[in-house]
Amino acid sequence: MEYPNQSGFRQQPDVRMRGPPGDPRLLFEDTSAGGSTQEHSGVGKGPDVYPGQALLSDPVSNLAMAYGSSLASHGKEMMDKNLDRFVPISKLKYYFAVDTVYVGKKLGLLVFPYMHDNWEVSYQQDTPVAPRFDINAPDLYIPVMGFITYVLVAGLALGTQNRFSPEILGIQASSALVWLIIEVLAVLLSLYLVTVNTDLTTIDLVAFSGYKYVGMFVGVLAGLLFGRMGYYLSLLWCCVSIFVFTIRTMRLKILSEAAAEGRLVRGARNQLRMYLTMAIAAAQPVFMYWLTFHLVR
C-alpha cells in the first residue's frame, strides 16, 4: 500500500531482495510452507523421512508382514512337497550330475561299445555314484540333448526339401516323445508280467531308451551331408552299436537277481528274462529307423 509523504509524493514500500542483485527468482519470499528457502533446499533438516517409514513402524503392519511371510513360506513348502510326489526333483538332480569328460566318454561308448569290458554301475554305501564319476551310470543329459538335436536336425532336413513348417516339426517332435513313452510303459508292463526284481526305475528306462536319439540325429546328419547312402551306413552302424550297448547294460539289470544268487540262466522264467532283454535291445533300431527314414530323400 502506498502512503503520501509530506512533500506530496507517493513513497514506494521498502522491498528487500534475498539474493544477489538481478536475480528475478528471489524478488519475493515464498512463505507458503511457513519456512525459508534454506528449509526448502533441505539444509538444516534432520534425517530423511521416507513415505513408508511411518507405516513400517506401526506394530500392526509389522505383524501383518510377518504373518504374510510365514504364510508364503508355508505355501512354498507345501508346493515343493506335493511336487516331489509326482516329479522327484531330488532324484532328477542325480541324472543331470554330469561333466564334459563324462559326456565325451559316454558318446564314445554309445557309438563304439565293443571294447568296453566293465558294465557294472559303481556304488557307494548302497547308493549309485553320480554319472560324472561312472561312465556306466545312466543319465538324462545326453537323452535330452539328443532329443533336442534330433528335432533341430529334422527341421533342417525338412527345410532342405521345402517341406518345413512349424506344424510338421511339432508333429515330428511329439511323435518321437509319444513313442518313447509307449516304449517305457511297455517295458514296465513286461517287467511286471515277468515278475523281475530289479533296481531299474522309470527314470532309468527313460534314460536307456533316450540314448537312441544320438544315433538318430547322427544318421539324419549323415544323410544331409552324404545322401541316402551315408544315411543308411551311419544309421546301420549306430543301430548295431545301440543294440550291443542295450544288451550289455540291461542284462545286468534284468538278470541281476539270478546273477546275485550265482545261478545259471536256466528255466522258463530266466528264459523270459533273456527274451525280454533281447526285445528291448531290438526295439531300439526299429524306432531309430521308423522316426528317421522319411527325413532323408
The pLDDT confidence band at residue 65, using thresholds 50, 70 and 90, is confident
Distance, CA of 165 to CA of 162 (rounded, Å): 9
In angstroms, the first-to-last Cα distance of the chain is: 102
Under DSSP, the state recorded for 294 is: G
Instruction: Please report which helix (H) or strand (E) contains residue 3, including its range.
Output: strand 3-4
Under DSSP, the state recorded for 124 is: S
Instruction: Please report which helix (H) or strand (E) contains residue 288, including its range.
Output: helix 267-290
Asked if residues 276 and 254 have their Cβ atoms less than 8 Å apart, the reply is yes
Q: Which three cell numbers stand for residue 145?
A: 540333448
Strands 3-4 and 10-11: antiparallel
Asked if residues 175 and 213 have their Cβ atoms less than 8 Å apart, the reply is no
> pLDDT for 79-88, tens place per residue?
655 555 555 6
> pLDDT for 142-160, tens place per residue?
999 999 999 999 999 999 9
Lowest-confidence range among 5-19, 60-74, 148-162, 242-256?
A: 5-19
The pLDDT confidence band at residue 38, using thresholds 50, 70 and 90, is very low
φ/ψ of residue 177, rounded to 5? -70, -40
Distance, CA of 184 to CA of 189 (rounded, Å): 9
* Residue 24 CB-half CA count within 13 A: 0
pTM given for the model? 0.70
Asked if residues 200 and 246 have their Cβ atoms less than 8 Å apart, the reply is no
Distance, CA of 290 to CA of 275 (rounded, Å): 22
> pLDDT for 159-207, tens place per residue?
999 999 999 999 999 999 999 999 999 999 999 888 878 888 899 999 9
Asked if residues 247 and 238 have their Cβ atoms less than 8 Å apart, the reply is no
Answer yes or no: is pLDDT of 93 > 50.
yes
Distance, CA of 222 to CA of 156 (rounded, Å): 12
Answer yes or no: is pLDDT of 34 > 70.
no
Q: Which residues contact 286 (CB under 8 A, 6 or more apart)?
A: none
The whole-number pLDDT of residue 36 equals: 46
Q: Look-up: residue for cell 544323410?
A: 223
